Structure 1
Amino acid sequence: MAVEIREVKSSREKKQFIYLPEKLYEKRYPQWVHPIYASEEEFFDEKKNGAWKYSDAVLFLASKDGELCGRIMGIVNHKVNKFRKENSARFGFFDSIDDLSVSSALFGAVEEWARNKGCDRIVGPLGFTDLDPEGMLIEGQENRATITTWWHPPYTPRLVENSGYKKEIDWFTYKVDLTKPLPEVYEKIAKRVLERTSYKLLDIRKRNDLKPFIRPVFELLNEAYQHLYGFSPLDPEEIDKIAADYLPLLDTRFVKLITLDGKLVAFSIGLPDMTEGIQKARGRLFPFGIFKILSASKRTKQLDMMLGAIKEEHRGKGLDVLMAVDIYTKARAAGMTYSDSHHELETNTVMRGEMEKLGGVIYKRHRIFYKEL
């Protein structure tokens, strides 16, 4: 039977789009983790997600034999295109059964839409911004997904490639064994920074103490991430939204802020892994899901590193080591045995080198694909 592709128009269809991966993966793949559906619904709400104001976007659903079996999103982020001097579209939220007729029809629909928007190439999977999930999992599917990352079944990259897509760039994720001692030189560097310079590593005890630093953190992120793939600066509305979403989840033990003369010059943020709790809650926060998620975050043996940056003029002065030593020490004290580095661009040889100095090994790889239109 022919594949039917339809553009999402109604709230009912949007709900089908959001919950389709659960139908496809929940009972087949224990490594797949539900999204937090409250956040997912806000992401697709044009009134609540400011990125829709500067982007064109479309959602497609695929069905075969009367059953929903695939989805894809198309995005033209005009802010990114202007910032990067590009004329590209993005695809994201691609999920499908293992059927080339379904995946080909989905990509055909999103490519035609992108051409009609005047785009000359398409890349993905990506969301609106650099802080949305990025990249298709092409290695490490045996490992459970971490928060804010996409997990895809092993057949999915083949579906993309069969639609004519090629590699654009990869992200590596490192696994670091926290049971092993840090290199001795790290302790010496951290001690020297604290004793011989005016840098201050702040001791944050309460989440409310973080509020004065929210804007400075994202201002530094905007500054430091400009050269990274796909990034465009976040505006104040986006910053407020991200802060509201993630501040309640932060564990201040793993939030590191360094100041010089009262001004923020570096930060690093980690989160205790909470994906086991998200699975048990099936992505639903209420009525009891939130308690399952918080409980899992207290029991976990894994620390997920999320974000970090150092002002350019303060790099090479040991600030990264100072934050790493403090996080490492507190993670071990909390009984954690390993950390997940989150995405490291394959071209970011400095950060990859630091991960490898810590004994980190690559255990996941996410890929961005491209196709000329």
Structure 2
Amino acid sequence: MVGGLTIRPVTDKAGRKAFVDLAWTLNKSDPNWVPPLKSEVHALLDPRQNPWFEHAEAALFLATRDGVPVGRISAQVDRLVQETMGQGIGQWGFLDAVDADVATALFAAAEDWLRGRGMTRSMGPFSLSIWDEPGLLVEGHDHPPTVMMGHNSPAYEAWVESAGYRGVKDLFTYDLDITQTMPPLVRRIVASGERNPQIRIRCVDKSRFGEEAAIILGILNDAWSDNWGFIPLTDAEIAYAGKKLKPIVFEDLVRIAELDGEPVAFMMTLPDLNEFIRDLDGRLFPFGWAKLLWRLRKPRARTMRVPLMGVVKRLQASRLAGQLAFMLIERIRVASVENYKAERGEIGWILEDNQGMRSMAEAIESHVNKVYRIYEKAL
């Protein structure tokens, strides 16, 4: 205890509730913070529900000052991170704090826990994994995040860096006015692809959701395998993600590109769920669930987010890769505007050094609207 400040590990249900609820206390005055569904956050942190815990472990720490919660952080060690990114990498996430002193004490607790498990590097934020909410928001605090992206106070950047962390990778999201037609060059590329009898762009079939998910994840694992930070999803995680995503997946917003009958590319687009849950204050009961179900029945979202897209690795160096991507983008752009009255698209996140995807985003005249940063520190 320092100056009335205490850092304790979360060990019971009451502690986990305080850990989750603290986000509301510290962020309620931020007009761009979107309260997540509390049930989703609790499920993410519950080893009985989240299959991530089958290959990882996490500790949650809660800071209190004179008995009042004032900060939180997680620390985690993932076996798959060790295998793919390097031995000795531990991670942290879920950072929230009222001031720099609290943040410093939280980092010290998380780092001690990581050292105790043999970790030599601390990297974050990941809440809990790169598939959840990766990166600290360092640019773009002036507008709300879209579904599955994080938001934090601008003050955190200085607090993280003063704790000895340096940025190792930036993740970009791109903003696009989808009511406008594509630039002429892109339209010509798409038109050429439409005339190619070898190419077929189709909607997914939710009645065969399991099969379609397997196709998409197969392309994803191949297309993203060389990307920095890529951690392959386990079968259990794929099933878990599919169960969560199915209610917000709409067939005309998720497309698969086939070449001579073989699936070789896909694009997944989601209505921005944050628009539908923002006024629920994190609660589905007693009436939130009914509001959400009604809104999802025939969604009208201003913003669409593209969290995932990919082209199989063997085509990535070819002109065909760009053509397939532009065809997918255009089909879904039209469906988003015509069927959901959407006006805006957000693409990403995209790694700062993924020049192929960045060039494609720029070709359709989108621009970076948010930057999320991954930090690292030697322990």
CA distance in structure 2 between the aligned counterparts of 1:229 and 1:64, rounded to whole angstroms: 39
Asked whether the 8 Å contact 1:280–1:292 carries over to 2, the reply is: no
The letter of the residue matching 2:353 is T
d(CA) in 1 for partners of 2:312, 2:111: 39
Q: Is the 8 A contact 1:5 1:60 kept in 2?
A: yes
Aligned to 2:282: 283
Report the CA distance between 1:86 and its aligned residue: 2.5
The alignment partner of 2:255 has SS state of strand
Aligned-residue offset at 1:323: 0.2
Q: Which residue of 2 aligns with 1:107?
A: 107
Aligned partners of 1:193, 1:182: CA distance in 2, in Å?
A: 15
TM-score, normalised on structure 2?
Answer: 0.93
Whole-Å Cα distance in 1 between the matches of residues 230 and 332 of structure 2? 26
Could you tell me how far 1:13 is from its partner in structure 2? 0.4
Q: What is the match of residue 8 of structure 1?
A: 10
- Please say if residues 123 and 376 of structure 2, whose CA atoms lie closer than 8 Å, have aligned partners that are also in contact: yes
Is 1:371 the counterpart of 2:371 in the alignment?
no
- Which residue in the other structure is 1:325 paired with? 330
The reply to whether residue 358 of structure 1 matches residue 364 of structure 2 is: yes
Is the 8 Å Cα contact of residues 276 and 293 (structure 1) preserved in structure 2?
A: no
The one-letter code of the counterpart of 1:49 is N
Q: What is the rounded CA distance, in whole Å, between the counterparts of 2:34 and 2:228 in structure 1?
A: 25
Q: CA deviation at 1:308?
A: 0.7
1:187 is displaced (CA, Å) by 2.6
Report how far residue 128 of structure 1 moved: 4.1
Partner AA of 2:257 in structure 1: I
- 1:51 offset after TM fit, Å? 1.4
The one-letter code of the counterpart of 2:246 is L
Q: Give the whole-Å Cα distance in 2 for the aligned partners of 1:186 and 1:209.
A: 32
- Paired position in structure 1 for 2:155: 155
Decide which moves more: 253-262 or 348-357.
253-262
- The 2-side partners of 1:337 and 1:120 are apart by 46
Identity %: 29
1:227 alignment partner in structure 2: 226
Q: Secondary structure at the match of 1:299?
A: coil
Distance 1:323 1:271, change over 3 A: same
Give me the whole-angstrom Cα distance separating, in 2, the residues matched to 1:284 and 1:262: 45
Asked if 1:71 is matched to 2:78, the reply is no
Q: Whole-Å Cα distance in 2 between the matches of residues 336 and 238 of structure 1? A: 30
Tell me the C-alpha RMSD between the 2 structures: 1.7
In the alignment, residue 147 of structure 2 is paired with which amino acid?
I
Q: Does 1:144 align with 2:149?
A: no
What's the CA shift for 1:83?
A: 2.2
On the 8 A contact 1:255/1:268 being kept in 2, the answer is yes
Q: Alpha-carbon deviations, 1:163-200, whole Å to 9, x = none?
A: 11111111111111123221123233223223224221
- Cα distance in 2, alignment partners of residues 296 and 24 from structure 1: 28
Amino acid at match of 1:264: P
Q: For each residue in 1:200-249, what CA deviation from the matched residue of structure 2 results, as whole angstroms up to 9, or x when unmatched?
A: 11134x53244321112112212222222222111111100000000111
The answer to whether 1:127 aligns with 2:132 is: no
**1: distance between equivalents of 2:286 and 2:202?**
36
Secondary structure at 1:248 match in 2: helix
Aligned to 1:344: 350
Q: Structure 2 vs 1, CA of residues 329 and 223 (structure 1 numbering), >3 Å: closer, same or farther?
A: same
Distance, in Å, in 1 between the alignment partners of 2:124 and 2:114 is: 13
Distance 1:64 1:288 in 2: 35
CA–CA separation in structure 1 for the residues paired with 2:208 and 2:190: 24
The 5-angstrom pairing of residues 187-202 of structure 1 reads: 187-202=187-202
Q: Is the 8 A contact 1:274 1:293 kept in 2?
A: no
Consecutive unaligned residues of structure 2, counting only runs of 5 or more, are none
Q: Which has the higher mean CA deviation after the structures are superposed, 29-38 or 130-139?
A: 29-38
Asked if 1 retains the 8 angstrom alpha-carbon contact of 2:179 and 2:343, the reply is yes
Distance in 2 between residues matched to 1:296 and 1:145, nearest whole Å:
19
Deviations 1:14-47 (A, max 9, x none): 1111221012112x01211122222211111111
Question: What is the identity, as a one-letter code, of the residue corresponding to 2:240?
Answer: K
Cα distance change of structure 1 residues 73 and 223 upon mapping to structure 2, 3 Å threshold: same
Q: What CA distance in whole angstroms lies between the structure 1 residues aligned with 2:192 and 2:175?
A: 28
Residues 303 and 339 in structure 1, CA contact (< 8 A), matched pair in contact too: yes
- Structure 1 match to 2:96: 95
Look up the match of 1:215: 214
Residue 202 of structure 1: SS of its match in structure 2? strand
Write the deviation string for residues 143-179 of structure 1: whole angstroms up to 9, x where unpaired.
1021111100111111111111111111111111123
Q: Structure 1 CA distance, aligned partners of 2:351 and 2:84?
A: 20
Amino acid in the other structure paired with 1:363: N
Alignment of 1:45-60 (within 5 A): 45-60=46-61
Q: Give CA deviations for 1:282-322 in whole Å, capped at 9, x if unaligned.
A: 22233332343455562321111111111122333111011
- Deviation string 1:123-150 (CA, Å, 9 cap, x unpaired) is 0001343311100101111110211111
Per-residue CA deviations over 1:71-112 (Å, capped at 9, x if unaligned) read: 000011111111233310000111111x22111110000011
**In structure 1, what residue type is equivalent to 2:58?**
A
How many equivalent residue pairs? 370
- The equivalent of 2:239 in structure 1 is 240
Aligned residue among 16, 23, 26 for 2:25 = 23
Amino acid at match of 2:301: T
**Separation in 2 of the partners of 1:262 and 1:309?**
17
What's the secondary structure of 2:32's corresponding residue? coil
The separation in 2 between residues aligned to 1:253 and 1:284, in whole angstroms, is 29
Sort the Cα spacing of 1:131 and 1:153 in 2 relative to 1 into closer, same or farther, 3 A: same
Distance 2:275 2:326 in 1: 30
Q: Which moves more between the two structures, 311-320 or 53-62?
A: 311-320
1:321 counterpart letter in structure 2:
F
